[in-house]
Amino acid sequence: MAENLAPKGLDGVAVDVTSIATTDNSGNLLYRGYRAIDLADRKSFEEVAHLILFGKLPSADESAKFREFLKKNSALGGRIPEIMKIEKQTNLMDSLRSYVSLEPYRNSEAGLLLAEIASKFPQIISSSARINEGSAPLHSIDGSYAENLYYLLTEKKNPRYARFLEKLLILYMEHEFNASTFALRVAASTLTDPVSAIVAAISTLKGPLHGGANSEVLTYLLSFKSEEEALKFVEEKLRRKEKIMGFGHRVYKEKDPRAQFVKIELKKLIGNTDVYRYATAIEEYIWEKKKLPANLDFYAALYLKTLGIDEKFYLPIFACSRVFGWGAHYLEQQADNKIIRPLSVYTGPTGLTLE
């Protein structure tokens, strides 16, 4: 029976249908049919979040109402600010998981509740980090989702940098049946509530094989003093058959268009500086030697650093965006549901008897 097993990690196995996102024959990530890089270049975060969550790009009026909804629901309720001061959590993903589950939400309709959950993420992350550091929490500002998130993370109002952040957030918003999304869909298939399903996704994203590559990429990129040193580091990694964070992807076998988009945006920010040249040299070398493409995390690490955002926020920022994709998958799973319950092949002992 073992020969009938699906590949480890369900690699290459299609387990269900979805109308939310896919990659086309050219390797472009599509959101509801639109290229993600085009949406990042021309649309706001709120417009794309509405597209992902509710299935269509909003009108100007719908967009304004959705933006107002996110702003109106962004503050933390109940005793969460007090609890944060008592039960300090140094890992922001632990904080996000805990306080998402404790928040007293007001909406009961699934789509609105999912949007309300998402609206809390920036404030949870910012307040938790600031309380841990002994600072007072910041209050949301009157701006877009990206402008508010940028302010909450940096204590600075910078519309230009917020727009650069917004583009990255859009590219992070959705990516088919990735690990956290699949975990959410398994939870949703049991007909559990949206909050519980989102917590399952957060817990999965926390794992270093799913999230967290940004920080490791930044560590090695900023350590080099020359292009030769950078390439020697990569050469040694390849020789020892060690994984180089920021390269390879189960979906993208050639170029990741999202990474190439962020690469162009990064050059607008920092120009042809030393660290930019080191990064592009590493990308070219690894492609030449191993045919592994740079993924979105490779350039995103330096991108966020350039925007003045602290490293501890990198994975939580991913969550602030991907939560809208998770919400869409929750709704899609429950719209045509069957509990996800695969089989297994037993390899343990049989026939044991008690003396």
Residue 201: which of 123, 118, 295 has the closest Cα? 118
C-alpha–C-alpha distance, residues 153 and 171, integer Å: 19
List 22's β-bridge partners, or say none.
30
Q: What b/e readout covers 249-286, taking b as 16+ CB neighbours within 10 angstroms?
A: beebeeebbbbbbbbebbeeeeeeeebbebbbbbbebb
End-to-end distance of the chain based on CA atoms, in angstroms? 31
Contacts of residue 173, Cβ cutoff 8 Å, sequence gap at least 6? 31, 36, 48, 49, 52, 321, 322, 324, 325
Which residue bears the tokens 């040299």? 281
Residues 6+ away with beta carbon under 8 Å from 200: 183, 184, 186, 187
Catalytic residues: 249, 297
Which residues are within 8 A (CB) of 312 and not within 5 positions of it... i.e. 6 or more apart? 92, 129
Q: Answer whether 145's CB lies under 8 Å from 53's CB.
A: no
The per-residue DSSP string of 5-32 comes to: PPPGGGTT---S--SSEEE-TTS-EEET
